[in-house]
Each structure stands twice: as structure tokens, then as C-alpha cells.
Structure 1
């Protein structure tokens, strides 16, 4: 009835609407929106562009007649407002037209005076322009006169400066020379610079150099003005320069002679000589005559000594002691050299030298240098010659280089002016290429010291020092020479001096004279020929006990000796590190090839094993477990030929494993202690790092270990399984026994099951093939025990099947033999009970034998199955 009275459920919808409104709590207005009347605020009417469609859509609830009525009403409103606006402004519009009457005549009267004013203004402007042009012309004339006056003053300065310099340098013209010959003074100079005191002369030349620099500045400025006067006096400027350079060179040479030869001056005056030397070097630097000073130092000091010290017979002549001058010997070494000690690394390129602990007494900086001390520890003519040269450089040149470094003008502010070079920095510079930087200043270390010494060694001693055909002598000479070069670099005043020295043509030529590829080829031939002679025999025969006991074969020992020789102090040269590194990897690859050839004759299936780390087990197709497949038990005893073959497999595989493991330990040890420290740093920055390459090479060799371990385990499993053959005859033995006593101990064959393992590892016996592998006893024993336990269970299962067959044959009898589960009380029942007891005793003894070898029988799945099998049959027999 409700549905017929309200078919659309309007009541229900109304109730729901009321409920929603009450729930929201806000009043709801149900009235329809009314459109607002048209006005000026309507957005559609005030829009820049009137849109009819939008306006009609906004009035969609209004009919057209109503809309027309609204628009007419709005239009009437607009008309009323327009009329109102016109009426409000009408009076103002009429008054404006009345006020403008007569203004045109007034404007015409104002035009007449404006023309006269404009003409007067233009006339004044022309007069001002003429006056401005005249003033500008006068100013330009004054500027020209000022420039000419300035140029004349500049020329006067140049003339005065030249006159002053000629006076200071005692340069006279022809007329002045004739007057001077009559006893007249020259420019008021009472005495020549040669008669002055040396200290005053040094300061005098410094003053002349400053004046000369000022003269050059003025001359360059005048030359930019294209003055003919400058070209006419150029010969006088050149004469001044020549005289100044000559006087400075003479003074510098005199000071050098006095400082080098200590007999010319007293000890008290040597400090003054050093001050004069500083003043001379500062003057050279002021004049940018660095190379002139270097040539004098090279000619008067270094070349004279080098000719006396380095000559073809110098190595055969007895060394003469070089006595140091007192001021230089008593000065303390710089702080950065006082703490220098030989590198404390397990191995360094100069181990043979640095490991010496007794050193001869040394001098000053040389005693603080590990390279100089290493040379002093050698009793070699070349080393003694190098020590003499180092002492000479330290005594006579170090102070000069320090002074020159301080007075030089450096273009880079970060460049050190003091002796701040450390041994660590020098070592880093030795392994890294130097960057070329433009530098103007003294380069005494490169252009003087090394240019003369290096050139003399190349020309006078080149045939002896660079003897690449004699490897031992060549390496010794190279080692001593490199120590000599490093000791010279320690004496350098700055790192920049070392960089310049290494970029010098003489240094590059010196380095090229070392025929290092030839030396490497000779060493390569020496190492490889000896190694290939040993590897020509591809048999795994144990070596004599006289050699290294860590390696089992002569071949492995030869490979290790070849690798050790590459990095030994008697052969290794740092510059050939990349070649010796490549040879090391080649030696390991060659050893892997030899192992593959030697193991090719070992006849055994390469079954994987877990007896060695990283080994994997070969899965049987039908077995989900990871255990090694269990071969079928032998049906007969092995022959003598098979026993000999198994002995050969055990011996060869054991020898190979011992050598591979020893090789891995030794190679990784020498990598950590020596090779990784000797290889250059840039090799470690490459994508293919040396350590990864070595690990890859060793992995290729150690990958043979799982295969060798599986072969050894396979042979031992087979031999251990042979001792299980008596298990099948246990029932027949107990039935044939006349004494029907209950067994109390395990069978006689149980202790012999794992005897091959003990014999192989030499446990409680004489030394066996696997004695060096005793650390793998537990890992081998676990897998052998697991496999033998499986075979043990196989024998027990086979015996059960055999007994069941016998039971079926005797099923006509009331009391039948039942090995598994029988409960008979006659003789056969007692035999079955004794057999079960014996099997339990045997299995327990079998587990104890495994525990002796370190096997955790609780973790052995095969043994648990075997133990459950024998005890389950006993329980079933008791229930029956």
C-alpha cells in the first residue's frame, strides 16, 4: 500500500534530505536564485568587448520579453544620466568660449620681440665659438710645448745619467783620455774601481746597476717617441753595459776564487766575502744577467774541479780527501734535512745500500741525506767519486745556490725562496713528470752543477758507467748513479730547481744513455733460460730435500726463484718496474701451462670436491643433494696395476697441491711486502689495477685445487671402501661359528677402513704423500667419511636383500631366518640377534674412527641413516 501511495519514494527521499541537513548543522536555502537587475556593475556590460552569448547565458532563467523590458529600462536610465551630465557642464563650456575672445591679437604682439632676441643670441654664440677655438689652439700649443719640454728633460736625464754612469765606471772619451794622461782627474773620480775596497766596489756596482736600469727605462721611453738622439748615443749605452758587465764579472770571479780557495782570505773576512757575493748576485739579478753569472761560476769553479775529478782514469786513481772550509762545515744543516732517515719500508729500490748500518763520517748536508750515506757505505771507486762530487757541491756551491735563490725575482708568488725541499717531495718528484713553467732567474743547479757534472760523466766515464752489456755492473752503477742524482737533488735550493734540472738537455741525454731495455733483455734471457731448463721436464717428481722444503718440485721452486729474482735488489731497477711486473704475470701463466701439461697424464675423473675451499660438488642427475655421487662398490680386490696407478695419482696430485698453495702464499706475500710498494702510483690509478691482475693470474692456478682435491678424495674413498668388503660375509661367519657367544667388540676390519687416510696424511705413521697437507685432514675426512658411510649403508641394504631372499626360500619352515625383525628362539634366531649386535658395534666403532679424524658425525646425514638403519631393525626385532 505504501508503494502504491508513493510510487517514487518521495517521502523517503525527503526524510533523508532532512536527516542530512540536520547532520551537517548548516541552514539550507531552498529558494531559487533571482537574477540581479542590470546596472553599471554588471561584468558582462563593462567588459572591453561585449559578448552576447555569455550575457544571454548569464540570464538564462529570464524570458526574452522580460529581458527586452530590462534592457529598455537600463537604456532609459543611461539616457537620463547622459542628459544630467550635459546639463551640469553646459555653463562651463559656454564661459570657456567667451573667455578666449581677443587672445589671438595678444599672441601676435608677443612674436615681434622674439626675433630680435634670437638674432642677438646667435651672434653671441658665434663670438663664444671663436673665443673657444682660440683658447683650444693655445692649449694644444702649450701641450705640444709641454711634451717637448718633457722630452727635453728626459733627454737631459738620459745625458746626465750617461755622464754619471761613465763617471762611475771611469769611462773616458779620447779628449778626456789625453787629459787624464796629463794627470787630471776624470769627472772628479780620484781613484778607479779596481783600487777601491772590495765591499765598496760591490755596493758601487750595485748603485751603477740601479742607475743603468733607470737609464734603460728612460731610453726605452725616448725611443717610443722616435728620438734620433737615442740612436746617436746607443754606442755609449753599449759601452756602459759592456763596462758594467766586465767589472761585475771581474768582481764576481774574484769573490768566487776567494770563497772556493780558502787560503786567499782569513776566516774572519769570509763572512764579508759572502756579503759581497750576495750583492753581486743581486746585481746580476737586477740586470737580468743570470746566464752570465752562471757561465762565470761554471767556468771558474765547477769546470775546474770537474776536470780534476772526473776523467777516464778517475775510477782507478785513489780518492783524495776533500777538506771543507770552516764556515761551511760548521753551519748546521737545514731542519728539513736533519730528520731525513732511510725509507722504513719492507723493501725499497736501494735496499742493498740503505740496509747498511755503519756509515763513514760525513759532512753537513751530505750526512743528512740517505742517498749520500748509502754511497759512503759502499767500497766502490764510482761511489767514492760520487761522494767527492757531492761534498764539492755541498761545500762550494750550496751556499751560492741558496743566495741566488733568495735574491732571484720569482714570477710566481707561491714559489718558495727558501730551501724547503723535503725528501718526501723529492721522492714524489722522482715518480711524477714535471710541468713546464716559464721562469726567469738563476738556475745554477741545472745550468752549472748538473750541466758540467752530467756532461763529464757521459763523455769521460760513459763506457764504464753505462755498461749495459754487463748486467751486474750495470745495475750496480745505475743504483749508485741514481743515489748520486737524488743526493744532488737534496742539495737543490728549491723544488723548482729540481724540476728545471730534470728538464735540462744534459739530464735528458744522461737518462737516455741508460740502455734499460738492453739490460732487461739480458736479465730476461738469464731468468727465462734457467726456468725453461727446469720446465722442460713435465713430470711431477718430488725434489730432493736439499732445496727449499716449502716446494715439492724443482719446477715450482724454479718459478718462484724467477719471480723473486725480478724484484730482488740484485736485479730490480725502478725504471723497469712495468717490465718486471709484466714478466711476473708471464711467469705465473707459464707455470699454469706447465701444470696443465704435467697433470694431463693423471687418470682420474675430475669430480668436484668440497675438501678444499671454493670447491663444489658434482651433483648426480637423480640426486637433489649436493653430495658427490657414490660409485658402485667394487666386486673384487684391486689389482697391483690399479694400486700403482692410485699411488701415482695421490703422489702427483699431492705434489701439485703443495706447490700451488705454497706458490699462492709466497706470491701474495711478496706482493704485499715488495711489489705493491715498488710499482709506480700511476699504475694503481688505472682501471686494470695490478692487484686485480695478480689475483686473476693466481686464480687461474688455484682453480686446479678443487680438481686435484677431488681426485685425491676419490682414490682415498675407493681404498677405504675396499675395507668394507667383509661386511657382506658377517652372516655366514656367525652361522659357521661353533662358539655361539654374543659379540662384545667391533669387527676386525673397522680399524682398517680409514687407514688409507691416515697413511696418506702420515698420521701416527711415517711421512705420507699428503703430509704437507695436514691442515686439510678435517676437510678431506668429512667428505671421505660421508661417502664411505653411504657405501656402508649400501652393503647393509644388499645384505638385507640377500637375507630376505633366503627367508623366502625357507618359508615352508615354521621358524625361518629373519635378520630384520625376526623373533625366533631357536639357533637361527640367536644368530640373527648376534648379527644385529655385531652390526651395531661396527657402526658405533665406525663413527668413533671418523671422530678421530675430526668428523662431526652428528652433522653427517649418511651416518645418521646408517645408524638409524641398524637400530631400527633391532627395535623391530624386539617388537616381534
Structure 2
């Protein structure tokens, strides 16, 4: 009978729960045995609905159960596990039997490898020998080609005229001579072909061969064969250069276009463009320029014609068009391959620059700005004329990139020129602003509109200085940014001059404000000129002046023009911003004058204190003088002529408001003092009466004195209100006047404002 299967063990803690090996429904150990199991994706999937601690606990529990199962398996089959080693018999013999074929296979492989290595070495040696043989053959072929080319060049050179003078003896003599020397080599001459053209064609052919020879030499350097042929090569090269030079010069003298074309192609072939450019400069250009701008002994004989270049450039342009244009047209011919030459820069411009430096060095001196600018602009026109010969933009760019072009432009020291102009323009304004007083000028521009109708020398100087920056005989467009900055600095200098002067006048300390004496000593009528000039300057700067500047800079990008417009407009705005400050200065001066009459109201107290005068019935005499300075100012010639109605209204409102404020301060102080004095006297009298045993009412007298003073002040401010109305100001609209009226009318007897 088989033993019954024991029931699963349960501890006290799990007696009423599931067995220990029970797992939740979401935990499936069978998934661990699948081939595509991925632990990370498994854990990330479970963590969406299972807490991490719970998952870890379940995995540890499963690990413990696996370890327990493994131990049970080992214990169950332990006897078989121990007897495993006794069943492995004759293992060493089996190893020996398996090793023998492996050793034999390895020996065969090593033998095969050795034979392959030997064949590889032999193959490499053969390839090396083949490569060396090919290299030697290439060198040999190169040397042979070099030898053939040298021989060919020497043979072709022998066909050239042996005496350079023969080039100018005419075609007939040369045809006879070369027909005898060269036989059929000049068959084309015998057929009537121009000898010069034939020689140029031959030179072009030689140049082509020389180009090949240079290529061969470059690839066969440091070879004894080449070194032995070096003298022959140099001799051939010198002969070619000399012959080519004579042929080119002869072609230039006779204006033989075909010969010149062939010679230029020959120069281009041997990469010797500088020789052609130099020959053209010395043989054609130099004699022409020497006649126009003489230098050296010839210049002393002819005498100096000054440093002006405009007339010289005119003659040079004519000579270029007459004597140089034919060569320029040949060199600029399309698809000719002659674009490597730059006769404009390296022949014409180079000779012109040299002639000016030697014959008229003062033309480049900025010490005389007017002459310097005239020569500079003439030079720019000359360069533009030269660029007119260029057939394309790329040719113009190439011309401007030449070293001679840059050297020519460097001769014009624009920085020094601007410094001199800066000092000239800025010093004129600075001298005018250093005057200790405002200097009126006679209105010479009265018929030219209000924008030119300036009244002060300082303002006229500013406008002239601003215009000088953009005059045709001052401005250089390449320095436009500097002149723009100078214009803004001039506006800023004028604004600072006004602002600092007005501030110094307000402070009133003349000793520590050097340069501001004009503002401290100026009368209100002088500031009318300032207001008028500020308006005129701002209108001009933001109007015709700005339009003129933008027109001069019209070639600049739109973004740059917008910045220029903003900066100049800001300068005009800075002038307009000073007008309120000037108006306040005028108002302060008028208030100060009116204050002299206002202070007379203090005499009202002395008039009615301790007297038996009756109540006043008319205003005080000082009232008529309070607004007299303001009225005289507004009705004066300057204000009437130069101030706008808007400005006069602003001045009127500002001045009357400040004067009324001052009137209120003095009147309220007077009333307060009178009331306090009367109150003190009343206490004294009452005390005396009590000590004397008498009783009387003394308050009537006190009230009477205060009432007299207030009545007088009321009559005065009524007259003051009528004077304000005569000027066009509603007194009741001024807060200080209402306060003044309330102050002089007693609280027990309020009176509405009336005049």
C-alpha cells in the first residue's frame, strides 16, 4: 500500500489563509520561461497597477520558493549526483584519439599557410619591380619629352630674327632675310602674310612649348639630366622673353591687333603677364603721362602748374581713349583667355600714380582741405572712367582688388581731412558760443522764409555749421557717418549751451559758471530771440535740412536711411524740448520784476495800524504796477514780432499764475500777522482794563483795524483781477487768486468774486 501524500505544511500564521506557494492572479511565473521575456517591459507593465513594494515582495517570495525547490531536487537525487564521477571511465584515451586528427589538420594548415606567404612575397616583389620599372619608364619618357621640347624650342627660336633692330626695318627686308635663313619655315610670309603677325604666331607657339617645358621640369626636379640642361633652358627662356618683348612693342607701335593678340596669348601661356603690363606702361603710357604731368628735369623746364589734378585727368582720359583703348579692347575680348591681364591697374593707373607722386606730391596733402577734396573727387571720377572700360562686374571687381588700386586710394588720407574739417566747423560754433552775451544779427535772410529768419549770431553759426557738414565742397560720402556724427554733436553742443546757461541763471551763481554769463546778464526780451531761433532751427533741421541729407545718402540701404532720419529728428526734438525751460526762465524774470511792486503791499499795515483812518474806498497805487512788466513784455516789439500766439498765451498763463501765487503768499502773510497782532493787543488791553477795575469792550477797535486791512486788500485784488481781465486772463480760473480772495474776505462776511 502506498504511503499517503502528506498534506502541505502550514504554519500558524497561514493556517486560515492560502498556501505559501499561492500567487496573486497578476503574477504569472510561467512568463519567465518564454524566449522573448523582457524584464524591464514586464516590470514597467506591472507597475501601472501594482505598487513597487508589493511587486518586490512577490518576486522575493518566488525566488525563495525556487531555491527551496532546487534543494529538494538535489536531496532527492543525491545518490546519483555523487556516483556521477565513477561512471566517467577511460576519458583520457578518448581525448588522445580525438587529438591525433586535430594535430594532423593543424600541420597541414601551417604548411599551406607557408606556401601562401611565399607566393604573396613573390607577388609583392614582382609588383614592386613592375612599379619601379613603370616609374623609371615615366621618368625616362619625361626626360625624353623634356629633351625634345628643349630641342624644339631652340629650333623655333632660331627661326626668329637674330637682330632686334630688324623688327623695325620693315616687312620687306625681314621677308628677304628670313626667306634666306629659314627657307620654307616662313612660307606664309612669301604668300603675303604680315611678317609681324607670323612672328607673333611663332612666339605664341614657342611660349606654348615653354609652358610644356615648365610642366616637365616641375615633375622632374633634382634630376642630373635636367640640371645639365638648365643652361639651355634659361638661354631659351631669355631669348623668348627678349623676342616676345620686341614683337609686342613693335605691335604696339604699329597697332597690329593680330600681332598684339598673339603676343598676349604667348605671355599668358608662360604666365608672365607682368612683363606685358610693364612694357605697355613704359613704352606707351609713360611718355603720354610724362607730357601731361612732367616730373624730374623736364618738370623744372616746363615749370609747375600747381597741384590741381582735374585738368590733368581730362587730358589723361583723352590719351587713354586715343592711344590705349585699342589694347584694352583686345585684352577684354570675350572668350580670348586674356582676362589675366589688367592694363588698367598695372599699366595706366600705376603710371598715373607714379607721375602724381613725383610731379605733384602736394595733390595728396590734406593740409589744404578745399584743394584736397577737389583732387580727391577728380580722382574718383577718373577711376570711374577707367572702370567704364571694364566689360563686366567681375572685371570691375578685379580692377578694384589690384594692389595698385589700393595704393592709389591709400594716398588720400581722409581721416586727416575730416579732422581738419571737424576743427574748422566745430571751432566756428564753439567761438560763437563762448561769447559772454547774446549777439543779435541783422536779418539778412528775411526774404527767405521763417526757417532762415534767425536773430542770434550763435543760432546762425549753428545752422551754417550744420549745412557745412553736407556742402558739396566739404562732404565726402565715404565719411558720411563721421559728418552725421559731427552734425549731431553740433546740435548737442548748442542744446547743452542753452541748457547750462538757463540752469546757471536759475541758480544765480555767475562766478562758478564760466561760459554762462550770457544767460545771467540777459533780459527777458533776449530770450524771445532764443525761443524764435529754437523754433526756426527745429523746423529747418526736421525739414529741408533732413530732406537734403537723405537725398545725399539716397544710395544707402533703407535701414540706414531710417536710422539717419531718426537721429537727426531726435536732434531737432532736443531743441524743441528746451522751449518750456526758456519760457520758465522768462516767467521767473517777469515775476521777479513784479515782486518789486508786490512788496509795497506791506505798507498797508503801517497805514491802518493804530490810526483812525476810515475804511478804504479805492485800491492802492502799487496794484497798477504789478502786471506792468508782463504787459510791457507781451506788447513789446520783440514779442510781437517773434513770438507766436500760442507761445505768448503760454507765457501769459505761466507768468500770471506765478505772480498770483506770490501775491497770495504776501497777502496771506500780511493778514495773518495783522490778525495775530490785533489779538495780542486785545489781550493786553483787556488785562489793563481788568486791573483798573473797568469794563469796556475793545474788540470793536481790533476788528476795525483788521477789517480796514482786509478791505484794502480786497480793493487791491479786485483791481488786480480787472488788470488780469484786460490782459485776457480770467482771474477766477487761477487757483491762487481764489485762495487770495478767500484770504482777504472775512469768514463772517463772505463775498463772491467780482471786479
Q: Residues 716 and 757 of structure 1 are in contact (CA less than 8 Å); yes or no, is this contact kept in structure 2?
A: yes
1:151 is the counterpart of 2:151: no
Matches within 5 A, 1:468-867: 472-489=370-387, 491=389, 493-501=395-403, 505=407, 508=410, 510-511=411-412, 517=416, 524=423, 528=427, 532=431, 538-540=436-438, 542-545=440-443, 550-554=453-457, 557-558=460-461, 561=464, 564-565=467-468, 568-571=471-474, 649-655=523-529, 672=546, 709-720=583-594, 754-762=627-635, 766-768=637-639, 771-772=642-643, 775-791=646-662, 793=664, 845=722, 848-849=725-726, 852=728, 858=733, 860-865=734-739
Q: Distance in 1 between matches of 2:281 and 2:311?
A: 23
Q: Is the 8 A contact 2:528 2:639 kept in 1?
A: no
CA distance in 1 between counterparts of 2:722 and 2:288 reads 91
Query: 1:812–1:148: structure 2 CA closer, same or farther, 3 Å change rule?
Result: closer
Quick check: 2:501–2:520 contact (8 Å CA) kept in 1?
Answer: no
Where do 5+ consecutive residues of structure 1 fail to align? 1-29, 44-53, 60-70, 175-179, 260-264, 266-272, 318-379, 411-416, 419-440, 607-644, 738-742, 823-827
Please give the alpha-carbon distance, in whole angstroms, between the structure 2 residues aligned to 1:173 and 1:667: 75
SS at match of 1:442: coil
Higher relative contact order (CA 8 A, sep 6+): 1
Instruction: Decide which of 312, 315, 322 is 1:388's aligned counterpart.
Output: 315
Q: Determine if contact 2:349/2:405 at 8 Å carries over to the other structure.
A: no
Partner of 1:217: 215
TM-score normalised to structure 1 length: 0.54
Q: Residues of 2 paired with 1:871 and 1:399: CA distance?
A: 106
Tell me by how many angstroms 1:777 deviates: 1.7
TM-aligned CA distance change 1:710 to 1:531, over 3 Å: closer
Give yes or no for contact 1:588–1:698 (8 Å, CA) kept in 2. no
Among 70, 77, 82, which residue is 1:85 paired with?
A: 77
Alignment counterpart, residue 289 of structure 2, candidates 302, 306, 309: 306
Is it true that 1:231 corresponds to 2:227 in the alignment? yes
Q: CA deviation at 1:452?
A: 0.3
Q: Is the 8 A contact 2:667 2:713 kept in 1?
A: no
CA distance in 2, matches of 1:722, 1:135: 125
Equivalent of 1:297, from 261, 274, 280? 280
Structure 2: 5+ residue stretches without partners: 1-12, 30-52, 59-63, 163-175, 447-451, 510-518, 686-695
TM-score by length of 2: 0.61
Deviation at 1:217, TM superposition (A): 1.9
Q: Secondary structure at the match of 2:77?
A: helix
Match of 1:14 in 2: none
State the secondary structure of the residue aligned to 1:223.
coil
C-alpha distance in 2 between matches for 1:715 and 1:505: 63
Contact 2:294 2:359 in 1 (8 A): yes
How many angstroms does 1:229 deviate by? 2.6
Q: 1:252 aligns with which of 234, 248, 255?
A: 248
Residue 778 of structure 1: how far off its partner (Å): 2.5
In the TM superposition, 1:329-408 aligns within 5 A as: 382-394=309-321, 397=324, 400-401=327-328, 404=331
- Equivalent in 267, 282, 297 of residue 284 of structure 1: 267
Q: Matches of 2:473 and 2:92 in 1, distance apart? A: 126
Matches within 5 A, 1:157-172: 157-171=145-159
* Matched-pair contact (CA < 8 Å) for 2:634–2:648: yes
- For the residues of structure 2 that align with 1:871 and 1:588, how far apart are their CA atoms? 53
Q: Distance in 1 between matches of 2:421 and 2:124?
A: 90
1:551–1:813 distance in 2 versus 1, CA, 3 Å: same
> Secondary structure at 1:288's aligned position in 2?
coil
CA distance 1:774–1:301, change in 2 (3 Å):
farther
User: 1:189 aligns to what SS in structure 2?
Assistant: helix
Range with greater deviation from structure 2 (475-484 or 544-553): 544-553
CA displacement at 1:387 relative to structure 2:
1.9
Q: Is contact 2:437–2:521 with CA below 8 Å preserved after alignment?
A: no
Deviations, residues 423-451 of structure 1 (Å, cap 9, x unaligned): xxxxxxxxxxxxxxxxxx43433321211
| CA-CA distance at 1:302 after TM superposition | 1.3
Shift of 1:555: 5.2
The match for 2:345 among 446, 450, 468 is 446
Given the alignment, which residue of 189, 203, 216 partners 2:185? 189
Residue 648 and residue 207 in structure 1: after superposition, are their counterparts in 2 closer, same or farther (change >3 A)? closer
Distance in 2 between residues matched to 1:444 and 1:159, nearest whole Å: 36
Q: CA RMSD in A?
A: 6.8
Q: Is the CA contact 1:206–1:283 (under 8 Å) kept in the aligned structure 2?
A: yes
868 and 231 in structure 1: CA distance in 2 versus 1, 3 angstrom threshold: same
Q: By how many angstroms is 1:208 displaced?
A: 4.0
Q: Is the 8 A contact 1:654 1:770 kept in 2?
A: no
Per residue, is there more helix in 1 or in 2? Answer: 2
